[in-house]
Each structure stands twice: as C-alpha cells, then as structure tokens.
Structure 1
Amino acid sequence: MALDIQALEKNLLNCKWTDDVQGPAWLTVLGKNVVEGAFREVLTSAAARELFAVRQSNADLAEQTLDVLFQFTSPSAQTAGELECLRLVLAVVLLHAFLQVNWTGPNLELKPVDILSVPDDYKDIITDEFLNSKSIAELAYGGEPAYHLVEAPFFLRLSRLLLDQPFERCTSAIWWKARVWAVHEHVIDEPVAPPEDLISYLQSWSKNITSETDLTGRVLLEEGLFHHLLEQDRQAAELFVRAARATQLKFELTGALGKRTKFQQNDVTQLVLLAESRRRDTDLAPVEVTPSTSVTEERKALPETLKLNDDTLLERTQFISSNPAAPGSLLAHLDPSSQPPLDPLDQCILLAMCLNIKNMSPAHGLTSEQMAPYVDRVIAHARNWSVHTMALLLRSRLEANRTRTVERSTLQLQALVDQMPTADSTVTERLAYIHDLALPSKWELQRELAQRYFALGVVRSALEIFERLEMWEDVVKCWQSLEKPDKGIAVVRDLLEGRKAETDVVIARGKAASEGRRQTMDAAHEAKLWAILGDLEPQNALEHYSKAWEVSGGMSGRAMRSLGGYHFARGDYQNAIACLRKAVAINPLLTRSWFILGCAYVRAEEWQGAKEAFTRCVSIDDEDAESWNNLASVFLRMGEAGQKVEVENDGDDEVRCLS
C-alpha cells in the first residue's frame, strides 16, 4: 500500500490520529502509538531497534561522539519515503518522551539502553550513565552548559541527531527541528541564537500550509514563542496577532460594569477581555472552573485551582449582564458574565499575548491589570490540562506582589509543582499543546517556587529546594543571605575537588571507574563552577575565571563575561574589550555583555567599537533607553568615516557607563 506521507505528518503535528492514513501497517501503527502516547511500544518496536542499532568500531567509545554510533537505517523501510517517515516518527516520540519526563509528567519507566540494540562487546560500556553523560556534554551549546540533572537527556540528543538527517519527502521535519531547538534552549543556562537558516526555512515551509487554518496559527504562534524566548518581543507580538488572525480568533480588551470586592455597593467599570473562537467540528463541552465547583470526576483531570478565601476580594469579578463592546464591534453580542468557551489553541494564543504584555510594558500596576483579563478568560473554561496549568502559573505570578493574594500565589505554585508526577490526565492531553505554551520545565518550576520562598524571606525552604536541584549559584546566594558565605564557598570547592558528589548517578559512575578516583564532570559544567568560585573569592577572581576558561577549552561564555567584567571594574579597558569580544562571539544574544563592551570602548575612546556595541544592544532590545542614549552620545563624538570629534562635555551628552 502506498504511503500517504502528508497525512501522517498532519496527524503528528495535530497530535490527533485519523484513520485516513494510508501506508504499511507497521509504520501507521507506530504513528498512531506516538499520537496516543504509547511511547514504550514505539521505542521498543522492532523497527526502532533496527534504526537504533549501535555499530561496532575500533575507536575508543569514550572519545567518540554519539552520532558515530548510529547509521539510522532499517531493513523494515522498503523505500526512501518509508525510511524518512520512520526517522521522523521516532524523532517525534523521542522528543515527546523527553518532554513527558521533564515537563508534563507522569514519569516514564523507560531507560536509554532499553531502546538500543547493543553488540555484546559494548554492553559493559554503553550504559545509561554513559549515554546520559555523553548527551549532557553534547547538549552544551554556544558556551552555555546544559542542566546536569535533566532526566533522559539521551532522548533529546537522539531526537536532534535524527532530525539532522536529510529529509526530502517529509517536509514538516523542519518544524519538528525548530521544536527540538526550542526545547534545547530551555535545557541550557542562557538562550543562544539558533542556526541562522532555521527560522527562515520554517517560514518558507509554513507558506505551503495556509489552507490548514489551525496549523498555520500554530506555526505562527510557535515562531512567536521562539522570538519571545530570545527576548525579541516586537517580532513576537506581531506573530501572536497573526496567529490569532489565522485561527480566526476574535478578541477585544474593553470595560464592563461589575464588582470586584464583597462590600462594593455600586458597579464600576472593570477591565474584561471579550473573546470568541470560530466554530470547529471537534468542539467539546468545557469544564466550568469556579471556586464553588465541587470536586467531580471531570475536575480530577485538571490541575487544582485554589480558592482565594479573602475577606474583601471576590473570587472572580462579577459583571452585570450587558454588552460592553463599542457599537459596530464584532463582539457586541457577548455577555461578559457568560462568555462561550474558547478552543485550546486560541487559549494558547491569548496566554502568549499575555506574556508579551508583560515584556513590552513598564513594571507598574497597569501591567498586571492588563494581563489579568487574559488569564481570567482562559481559567474560566478549562479545556486542556497543560493550557490550564499555564494559566494558573501566570495567575500565580501576577498575584505574587499583592498582599491579599500572595498566599494563594505561593500555594498555587506549590500545587502545580506537586501535580507533575501524578497520572490524573492522559499523556496525550498533556502533550497536545505543549509546543504552543511557554510552560517551564519541572526544574524551572521548582526553581521559581524556591525563588518565591526566597523573596518572602523563607530562605531555609528555598535553600533546600536549590540544594535538591543542585543549582549551586542559587545555593550560594541563600548562604550569603543567611550571612554564612563561607558555607557557599565550601560547597563549590567540595564539588570541584571531588569531596562532594552531585547525584547518585555521578557516584555510581565514580565507583564503577575506581573507588579512589575523583568523580569527573563535563567541561562546561566544571567551568561554571570555577566562575562561581571566582564570584565568591574576589581576591582570587582572576585566577578562577582564567581556570574556568581553560577547563572549558575556550568555550565558556560565562568565564569570558566574568573576565571582561573583572578587567572593566579595574580600569583595564583593553583587556576588558578583548575578553568581552570573545564573550559576545560565543553568545551574541546577551545585551549586558554588549553594553559593558560598549562602555569599555567609550572609556578607551574607541568610538567605532562603541557604536557597534551599542548598536547591537538596541538591535536586540529596541526599547533599551540607556543604550539608545549612549549610542546618540557616541555619534556626537564621531566625525565622518568614524573619526573623533571634539565635543564640549557639558554633562548633557555624557555616556552612562558602569562604575
């Protein structure tokens, strides 16, 4: 039977299986199992084990990268199209298995070695520890280390290797490659620019699916979220609006009469978001989420929505039944107190717009007031587990700085952390919209909870979480807050000198090698520890930062940023320029590095370099007022062809540099 590649790709992208996919039974069964969340069946299938057969080599495996272990061929695939589809299906299932383990839960009882066909000669070498440690090292990118406690990193690394293979027939592979890159960005310490052609290829390919309304909206939304991740907010905002237009989502932020407190006598104007999705054939009845709703079987499949229980504020704004939209509005027929449920994809778009309001508005009360209607509109009708989780997380962030809501904010965040290991909803539901949300990973969510505790002064509880997550930079901050900086220094030194093991995995690896041998770690992670030690011991900072650069093999952006700051603070501007030049070459997305580099050029009176650095600052963040001011001042000091101009310094045009 001829293989319908486009139908298979569409099912994988929509995360919904239809029976119209034509092709070999073994391949369509694999595709259906991926969509339905049966990851173990797919990854342990005969076709998968053929593709993941480790080839033998005379070279030392410890010195080889993971890509040389595989040829990614399968006798089951009779044609080039079948082989490409098999690679794509397995790349998708590996990515989703990684997301299940590290983002949505529940736990996946599947180890990396379970999916490989390993020759007998290699079974003592190729272990879970070997594969995961190799993957952590190879996932370090752009001078940024990967988080060392990420679970099953081999799944993500193998998914990337599969998608790096040539695809001529499966055109959606470029979209999946962009999704893998987006997940990869969350695994490393700081965002790094992706390959230059990735987004452009995705944009070119997306023009071919304009007839698929929701798929077009999804690709625009995910492209916007990618720009949001890289802090390119203006581009993100435009893409979110285009995504709403593509899915035919109608929305309007307006005012309506209502009450916000229990003792309010008169109705006053309250912000409300009117929104309506287009009618879809698959529309389902929503679960109405209100604080007074009893716990039913339907509610158990959703994240717990905590009550406010305040003596003054109402749980939700009570609007009077009226039509607040302006005359002629497309939403004039909507009642703000009883709006229709939204499609989950449209809910994702509204939450993305809410994120962008936060980034593109000043940090004052109006920002929270603008964001709240977006979040409330999504929370009112729960349609999907992950979407509802994201909405509750955003509400928790909004309520963190208000006295009457800070308690619920923290408890809600704790409830979201606790729900991850549970199996109260299906894997399919949790992953259906995971790529369309800015949902943090498990460790990012736990770190956010620890930071909330730290901000509230509950430092000991924050310290316990940071230590469990082995986020040593935050552990050090906690010890400093407790006025015990020596303990922070001792932690870092113990890690570097092998007296303290980071995980049971590291201990097991150390014992397997030699009982008396010091445990080793990947170069990027070790470099980060040396840089942290340099921050803690200013008297030896130069030595520690240099050591960090050395052990990283000249790849640690963190080390060079620290060295540049060290020389700048001591007035050694030429060395600061040299170090920061290397830092921005490794990771050009960090505005702070470009800004300090520009200031160093100014102090050295090298105006051309200063112009370049501040230009990069404003190209990354076009609302960086300080960089714009400095750039204007630099231009005043430049003549034609970049030569110096003598300008009287009356104080008005002074370049604002770091002291």
Structure 2
Amino acid sequence: MGHDRSAAEYFVRAARATQLKYELTGALGKRTKFQQNDITQLVLLAESRQKDEGSDVDGSADTQALSPAAKTGNASESSKAGNSMPETLALNDDTLLEQTAFTSSSAAAPGSRLAHLDPSAQPPLHPLDQCILLALCLNVRNTSPSHGLTAEQMSPYVARVIAHPRNWSVHTMALLLRARLEANRTRTVERSTLQLQALVDQMPTADSAVTERLRYFYSIPLPSKWEMERELARRFLSIGVVKSAMEIFERLEMWEEVVHCWQSMERRDKGIAIVRDLLEGRKAEAETVISREKAVSENRRQTLDAMREAKLWCLLGDLEPENALKHYTKAWNTSKDSSGRAMRSLGGYYFARADYPNAITCLRRAVSINPLLSRSWFILGCAYVRGEDWEGARESFTRCVTIDDEDGESWNNLASVYLRMGEAGKKVEVENDGEELENQAAHMTVSDDSSASIPFSNKMLAFRALKQGLRFSYENWRMWSNYVIVAMDVGELSEACRALARVVEERSAKDGAKCVDEDVLERLVDAVTRAPADPDDAVESGGASASANAARNPNEGHGLLRRITDLFERIILPRVSSSRVFRARARLLTWQGRWEEALNAYLDAYRCGIAGTMEKGETDVERWREAVGEVEEIVDVLRNFGPRAEDFKWKLQARSIVRTFMGRTRDFEDEPEWARLAELQEEIRKEEQ
C-alpha cells in the first residue's frame, strides 16, 4: 500500500512486455444527441501486438478466439457474439449518447505509431492487454484527487475495454469500474445501479467456465460476490432505496448498517433491539466473526472487543437521546479512554446543549485521538467561538481547511475569527447577527468603531480566507456579503464591486431592493467621483498620451469606473428599484457630464421616494413634511442641471411635479410647509414666462 508510483512503473513495463501500444489523446466528437458542434473528446487509442492466429502473448494458446464481429471492430456485434459475457446494460437516456460519437477518423498526433487507428472503430485487444489498461485506469484514481476530472480521465480506459468483451472476469471488472464512475451523475446513476445489480446476479450462474473466470485472476482486482453485494447495498442506500439495501445488509449480517437503515425509516425501536442483541451476544456481525478466527494476541483481541463494544454503546446513544449521556460515557469507559467516537459523541451532546466548556474538553480529546476528522475540528472551532476563545477557534478552523481546502464554510468562519482577533489574540468586539455557525456561514456586520480597532494584517488574512472559500461556495450569498464588507475595509474596491454584484444576483428575486448594500454602493461611487472627471487631468504631466499609457488603479477613479458602470447597468438596475440606488447612479452620471441621463436618474429616485409614492388620503404629517423636502430637492436639481441638457424640458417637469404633489396632498393645506409649496409653484411659473 502507498507505492502507487512504483506500481505505475510496473504497469508500463507490463505494457512493453506484451508490446501493447496505447496513447491517451483527443478527437472531435459528440456526447449528446442534440449537440450541434463537435468538440474535443478524450479517447484512448490502443492496439495489441500483431500475432499469429491462435497464439497468446506468453506463447500459449488463446482460448478466447476472436469472433468475426470482433475482428471487424464492431463493438455492439462483438458484445452479442458470446453468450458467456456479463450483460452490458444500455444507457437509454434522452440526451446522452450510448458512447461518444467521434467524427474525426484520426486522433493521434502526426508521426504517432497509432495514427492509423480510427477512434470509433479500433481493433479488439488481447485480454491481458485489457487487464493492463484497467490497471492503468485504477492508477489514475490512486494518484489523483477525488474529482470529476479524475473520473473523466479514467473513462476512456474503461470504454476501450468494454468495447470488445474477450473474457468474463475482465469484462466484469470493466463494467464494475464504469458503474462506479457513473454513480455520481444524475443521468447515469440509474444505469450504474442496475449494472451493479446485474453483475451481482450473474456471479453464481454457470454462463462461463471456471477456467475462464480464473485465467486472469491475478491480473485484475475483481472483488468477491459479497463485496459487490455490500457495494450494491450502499448504492441503494445512497439513492434512497432503503428497504432493498437493508435486505442485503441483513443477509450479509452487517448489523450496524441495518440499524442505520431502521433509523432512516424512523423505526428506532427496531434498531435498538438489534443493538441490544449485539451487546448481549445474541447476534454478531460477519466481520467480527471473521476477525475472531484470525490468530492475534490476547491483548489485541481484548482491545478489538472493547472498541467494538464502545462503538455499539455510541450507536445506542444515538438511538436513545434521552439516555445519550449515559451511553456515551459507558462507551468511553468501556474503551479505556481510547474511543474517539465516544468523545465526538459526548462533544456533540454538550455542544447541542450550549455547554461549551465541556464540549471543548471532549472534542479536544477526540481530535487528539483522531486528528484527521475535519468535522470534529469544525464543531470544536464553533465551541471556541461561542466561548469567545478566538485563538482556539483560529487553530480549529485552520486545521479544517488544512484537511479539506475546499471547505468553504470553514474558510468563512476562519475569516470571521480573524476579524475578532486583536494584537496577540486580544478580543475585538464585532457585531454578529446571531445565526448558528455550525449550520451556515456567519454573516458579518462590522461597525466603523470596531473595524478601526482590528489590525490591518488580520483584515487582510480575513480577506484572503474569504477569497479562497468563495472558490468552493460560489452560490453562498452570505459569504459574498461578508466579502463585500472585508474588501471595502482593506481597500479592494474592485473585488467589493464584484461581490456586491453576486449578492444582488442571488438575492434580488426574493428580497428586492434589500439585497443592495446602499452604503457600500455609495462609497464605491465616492471612490470614482473623487478623481477628476477628465482622464487627462487624472494623470500627472497630463495630456492625451500620458492618460492613454497610465496604469490605472482598479480600486479608484477611472480604473474602477468600468466595473461600477457594469454593476449599475447589467446587475442592479434591471433587478432593483430604489431611491438611493438611483441617486448614486445620478451622481456618477453627473460626474461624467451625462446631464440628461443624470436628470432621468434623479427623477427615477424621486418616483421611488416618499413624495413619488405618496397617495391621496394619507394622514401622516411627518411623512408628508419629509416628502415636501424631496419635492424641493428635485426642483433644485432640475434648475441646476436642466439648462445643461439639450432639449430637456426641465421647467415643464418641475411644474408637473409640484402640481401633482399638491393635488394628491391637499389634506395638508393647513400645515406651514404648504406655503413653501405654493411659493415654489409660483417661482416655477415666473421662470416659464
């Protein structure tokens, strides 16, 4: 175990010994029925050594003679040629093709030894060469992270072997690998499960000779029937077919999994009865029975039995919440203080009841026993946060992201902790919205006073943590909202603009104008309008040539203008109508000298404000007085900017606004502010003359 690189070298040496030629490359093709354009698809070109009819690679007779269909390279006919092969199930999907349809007749690079092969009609391979390709396929998995790209890289190896079935065991292994690769895709998970079921069902049949099944026994890691049944049961459980999974688990005497099945079906009484039987010796799991037959020392056997009993007590504690503390403590004592499972359960028990000191104590013991479980570190970090131990929380969430760097929630919480740490770990008060850290990412709300007391280095660490976490939690609007605040605080206004756009995209349909942080938006506009409007004036030793060649700061002035403009025009305005948003937009247009557009934005802001939405019959005097101020303000804007906009009838607009507002609010004629409106109306009438 652990010698994957050395194994890869031996696989290559095996291919050379059999004179197998193979090359992983790309060829134009289609993977869906409705695909219009050909795109490059990954394909494995492979060819066995040309040999005399009936001879094997090692010189012995080949019992698997090629059928006429296999000699022509027709995969579908080849699969039908022998009845001794496992059934290869069709996908039967309304979108995906059964196999990649290559439109290029040659995929190999010029000068390659395999340039003569057609990707869609390759010759059949010798079974031993198929074993080598499957070994290379498994080596890709062993030396690569668990990721969708890894599965894509493994698929061509499996497809190349499945295309020409030559041996019962080899073809079974290839179908099993394909079923595993397809288990995590929505369109293929059904075929994956049914194929695995078919492989299990054909194991005991007499459709192939024993010599055929055992011939390549040492060349492929084909699991036993019981292991495949266990895998099938877990596949059933993953897609919600709990009863079928439980039947298999019961047949295999995997009682712990049976208990989980009863638990998922909300029949805890059945699960409790099984656990009691296991504790009292009336039942035993198959693995336990097998392990007891192995030759081990008496001390080792006692340790294994104690750990097994402790696990059962923990399971009983999960099933009986009212006696959970008693059962978890019993598990810890039974294991002689060595069960990480018991300590994790106790830590979770105390955490759920807000007993954070005891939760921290238990979880510290748990992570000391097994430090590679990120969930334990995460709950421990949340307990430290509740106890306001920021240094401990920082250590815990750092361990979380070290174990799993794609844990966006831990990155977010780590950033939150940095903003709560002062110099040398001193506490910094930062307002929190009170949401549970263990359930979802915390939403930061940083006030100006508290923000000033946070060291800038901590703010930068929080900014980088959030930036990393957002790579893996792109749809989490709370993290984007946090990112807006921190980016503004560290001066990364371009990033704040991008983050605000993501928040609006995610929340606008549900929350409307509330999704826009208007304070942040106005600060972004301020950062642009502080610079001279003329780009030439914004550069020292001005001039057109200097302005064209100057490197612009993306976080202020003209360097930020393009992103702010895109934020307004493409993201916010098509989704949100708000008085402050329109005013911020109007200020930006005024700075650019786009007078008519600025006036229209100010008018839109007025229509969204109190004065524009006030209806006839309202009686709130204070609201009416505020609306009078808005009317006076919009008239002043029209007077100042109206003459600068060509063909803009600002006087008509001003008179219409005042007249309409006075007509809707005549119930307030006795108020002192009514005289101001009448005076304003008279002034506009005189200006029109």
| 1:597 and 2:380 matched | yes
1:335 to 118, 121, 124: 118
Aligned partner of 2:10 among 210, 214, 224: 214
Q: How big is the shift at 1:539?
A: 0.7
2-structure distance, mates of 1:496, 1:270:
58
CA separation of 1:504/1:268 partners in 2, compared to 1, >3 Å: closer, same or farther? closer
The 2-side partners of 1:456 and 1:629 are apart by: 31
Q: CA 1:577–1:268 in structure 2 vs 1: closer, same or farther (change >3 Å)?
A: same
For residues 216 and 599 of structure 1, do their structure 2 counterparts lie closer, same or farther at Cα, with a shift above 3 Å needed?
farther
Which amino acid in structure 1 is aligned with residue 77 of structure 2?
A: S
Unaligned runs of 5+ in 1: 1-177, 179-198, 219-242, 511-519
Please, which of 29, 35, 38 is the counterpart of residue 257 of structure 1?
Answer: 29
> Normalising to structure 2: TM-score of the pair?
0.49
Would the aligned equivalents of 1:323 and 1:335 in 2 still touch at CA under 8 Å? yes
1:306, distance to aligned residue in structure 2 (A): 3.1
| Paired residues for 1:215-614 under 5 Å | 251-252=23-24, 254-258=26-30, 260-261=32-33, 268-269=38-39, 271-276=41-46, 290-293=75-78, 300=84, 303-308=86-91, 315-324=98-107, 334-339=117-122, 341=125, 344-353=131-140, 359-361=146-148, 372-381=155-164, 388-400=171-183, 407-418=190-201, 423=210, 425-427=212-214, 429-434=216-221, 443-455=226-238, 457-500=240-283, 502=285, 522-614=305-397
Q: 1:2-401 residue pairs with structure 2 within 5 A?
A: 178=1, 213-214=9-10, 251-252=23-24, 254-258=26-30, 260-261=32-33, 268-269=38-39, 271-276=41-46, 290-293=75-78, 300=84, 303-308=86-91, 315-324=98-107, 334-339=117-122, 341=125, 344-353=131-140, 359-361=146-148, 372-381=155-164, 388-400=171-183
| Equivalent-residue separation in structure 1 for 2:81 and 2:264 (angstroms) | 44
- Separation in structure 1 between the aligned mates of residue 185 and residue 326 of structure 2, nearest angstrom: 44
Deviation at 1:626, TM superposition (A): 2.0
Instruction: Decide whether the 8 Å contact of 1:596 with 1:658 is kept in 2.
Output: no
**The residue matched to 2:216 in structure 1 has which SS?**
helix
Equivalent position of 2:431 in the other structure: 649
Matched letter for residue 162 of structure 2? I
What's the offset of the Cα at 1:451? 3.2
Task: Quote the Cα distance in structure 2 between the aligned partners of 1:217 and 1:597.
Answer: 49
Q: In structure 2, do the counterparts of structure 1 residues 483 and 571 end up closer, same or farther at CA, with 3 Å as the change threshold?
A: closer
Contact 1:542 1:566 in 2 (8 A): yes
Name the SS for the 2:75 alignment partner. Answer: coil
Q: Is this contact kept in 2: 1:249–1:346, CA < 8 A?
A: no
The CA distance in 1 between the partners of 2:21 and 2:389, in whole Å, is: 51
In 2: Cα distance, 1:403 partner to 1:639 partner: 47
User: Against the structure 1 CA distance between its residues 315 and 648, is the aligned structure 2 distance closer, same or farther, given a 3 Å change threshold?
Assistant: closer
- Asked if the contact 1:636/1:645 (under 8 Å) is kept, the reply is no
Aligned CA distance change for structure 1 residues 421 and 555 (closer, same or farther; 3 Å): farther
Counterpart secondary structure, 1:359: coil
Instruction: Provide the rounded CA distance (Å) in 2 between the counterparts of 1:616 and 1:420.
Output: 45
Cα deviation, 1:223-278, whole Å, max 9, x if unaligned, reads: xxxxxxxxxxxxxxxxxxxx99xx998755645234754xx797744733244589
Pair 573,504 (structure 1): closer, same or farther in 2 beyond 3 Å? closer
- DSSP-derived class of the 1:256 partner: strand
Distance 1:216 1:600 in 2: 51
State the Cα distance separating 1:613 from its structure 2 match. 2.1
User: Residues 596 and 657 of structure 1 are in contact (CA less than 8 Å); yes or no, is this contact kept in structure 2?
Assistant: yes
Deviations 1:477-523 (A, max 9, x none): 3324444321122221222233445569969x99xxxxxxxxx9922
Aligned pair count reads 406
Q: Alpha carbons of 1:585 and 1:481: their partners in 2 closer, same or farther (altered >3 Å)?
A: closer
Q: Is the 8 A contact 2:11 2:135 kept in 1?
A: no
Deviations 1:3-30 (A, max 9, x none): xxxxxxxxxxxxxxxxxxxxxxxxxxxx
1:629–1:506 Cα change, 3 Å? closer
Tell me, yes or no, if the aligned pair for 2:31 and 2:96 is still in contact at 8 Å: no
Structure scoring higher RCO (CA < 8 A, sep ≥ 6) equals: 1
Whether the 8 Å CA contact 1:358–1:371 is kept in 2: the answer is: no
Gaps of 5+ in 2: 294-302, 441-689
- CA shift in 2, pair 1:535/1:441, >3 Å: farther
Q: 1:413 to 1:548 in 2, by over 3 A?
A: same
Distance 1:432 1:564, change over 3 A: same
Q: Does structure 1 retain, via aligned residues, the 8 Å contact 2:379–2:438?
A: yes
Percent identity for Structure 1 against Structure 2: 58
For 1:626 and 1:537, locate their aligned partners in 2 and report how far apart those are by CA, in whole Å.
30
Amino acid at match of 1:360: H
**Alignment check: 8 A CA contact 1:322 1:335 kept:** yes
Q: Secondary structure at the match of 2:99?
A: strand
Q: CA deviation at 1:548?
A: 1.4
The 1:308/1:424 distance shift into structure 2, 3 A limit, reads farther
What is the aligned partner in structure 2 of residue 82 from structure 1?
A: none
Tell me by how many angstroms 1:424 deviates.
5.8
TM-superposed deviation, 1:572: 1.6
- State the Cα distance separating 1:546 from its structure 2 match: 1.2
Which digits, 9 at most, give the CA deviation of each residue in 1:377-403, with x for residues without a partner?
342355776664443224224545778
- 1:189 aligns with none
Question: How far is 1:464 from its partner?
Answer: 1.1
TM-score with structure 1 setting the length: 0.51
Structure of larger gyration radius? 2
Q: Is the 8 A contact 2:20 2:49 kept in 1?
A: no
Using the alignment, how far apart are the partners of 1:524 and 1:533 within structure 2? Answer: 14
Cα distance in structure 1, aligned partners of 2:381 and 2:12: 41
CA deviations over 1:558-615 (Å, ceiling 9, x no partner): 2222111111111122222222222222222222122222222222222332232222
Q: Distance in 1 between matches of 2:142 and 2:36?
A: 32
> What's the RMSD between the two structures over aligned residues?
4.8
d(CA) in 2 for partners of 1:610, 1:635: 9
1:5 maps to none
- Of Structure 1 and Structure 2, which has the larger fraction of its residues in helix? 2
Instruction: Quote the Cα distance in structure 2 between the aligned partners of 1:644 and 1:497.
Output: 53
Query: Paired residue for 1:627, among 406, 410, 413?
Result: 410
CA distance in 1, matches of 2:47, 2:389: 56
* Cα displacement (A) at 1:533: 0.8
Q: Distance in 2 between matches of 1:505 and 1:601?
A: 38
| Residues 364-388 of structure 1: per-residue CA shift (max 9 Å, x gap) | xx99777654542342355776664
- Contact 1:344–1:384 (CA under 8 A) maintained in structure 2: no
